[in-house]
Amino acid sequence: MRLAFTLALTMLCVAPATGDEPLEKQFFDYFMQRCEAALEAEWKAADLDPENPEARNVLGKYCSCTSQAVVSFLTAEEIIAFANNPEQEPAAGKMRPHFQECQERARKKAGQE
């Protein structure tokens, strides 16, 4: 199983397992980076400043939450499929409610600070 994860990470252009960092952490980091980049691009396209401290806070909370959800609620095969196409079912449907919850949490926490 560890070899399958390592091969999947290599195919996804993520650094292969070093033995020091668990594969779940590597997947988490991969999805965190993809999430942050996607949100930053979306916000820039809407003429919003992703470097604004409040925006960074929301972005970090949301991306951390969604990345954790991916590694917590998807199987290894689903993680790989989701990385290749986040719109593909069944992973997209499994993640949708978690992502909505993450969005609500990030907004609530940002409003409290």
Give domain status of residue 19, yes or no: no
Residue 106 phi, psi (nearest 5)? -60, -40
What is the residue range of 60's domain?
Answer: 2-8+24-112
Domain count, the chain: 1
Task: Express each pLDDT in 4-63 by its tens digit.
Answer: 433 344 344 444 445 577 888 898 999 999 999 999 999 889 888 878 888 888 889 999
Residue 53: predicted pLDDT: 86
Say if residues 82 and 95 touch (Cβ distance below 8 Å). Answer: yes
pTM of the model: 0.73
What does the pLDDT read at residue 36?
Answer: 93
Helix ranges restricted to H, the chain = 2-11, 23-45, 53-73, 76-84, 91-112
**Are the CB atoms for 76 and 8 separated by under 8 Å?**
yes
In a domain, 13, yes or no: no
